[in-house]
Amino acid sequence: MKKSVLVLVAVLITAASSVQAETNVNVSIGVPVPRVVVSGPPAVLFDVEPFFLAPSRLGFYVGVDTPYDIIFSSDYYYLYYGNSWHRSRHHNGPWAVVPYRQLPPGIRKHRIEQIRSYRDREYRVYRGDRDHYRGRSHRPGHERKEEWKDDRRHDRQEIKEERRREKEDRKEDRRDRDRGRHGRD
């Protein structure tokens, strides 16, 4: 009996050392009780909204200066965590597992190592000349700010057009007055 228990323990230890994922091994002498470990969605929370850059070779935004692999694409945030992909509408979750086949084609087109490489290169460019950076960037929560800028730009354009029309109307009025004076002579 002792030999069979020792053999069982040796087999379990060998199997446990070859598994790379999170594993729990429970050895008991007596009645074996199966133990199931279920991991839930990642509890990834950002204290500050992550900053995203869009490397031109990728075509989507990648989080920089963060310990997590996070991507913003098509109004969703994608998190690569624990060898699987998760998706959420908000950068702080709640996260739901996304099968690889259901990732956007742009993300599926690249391996995570490539994404990291392009991200790191783009971030070096950004850090090198932050004030004159020409690439695209995104920070969650700042979408409304961009809308306000667009609204102000549109309002300024309308005011400019109105002033141009008023100026043309004044010129036309002057021409009409000048024609009237010359017509009487």
DSSP per position, the chain: -HHHHHHHHHHHHHHHHH--S-------SSS---------S-----SSPPEEE--TTT-SEEEESSSSEEEEETTEEEEEETTEEEEESSTT---EEE-GGGS-HHHHTS-HHHHHHHHHHHHHHHHHTGGG--S-EE-TT-HHHHHHHHHHHHHHHHHHHHHHHHHHHHHHHHHHHHHHHHHH-
Residue 151 reports pLDDT greater than 90: no
Residues 38-74: pLDDT tens digits? 456 778 888 888 999 999 899 899 999 888 999 999 8
pTM above 0.85, yes or no: no
Residue 27's CB is within 10 A of a number of other CB atoms, namely 11
* Predicted local distance difference test score (pLDDT) of residue 157: 80
Residues 15-24: pLDDT tens digits? 545 444 455 5
Nearest Cα residue to 137 out of 150, 115, 119, 111:
119
For residues 49 and 141, the answer to whether their CB atoms sit within 8 Å is yes
Asked if the peptide bond before residue 94 counts as cis, ω within 30 degrees of 0, the response is yes
Distance CA 64, CA 119 (A): 7
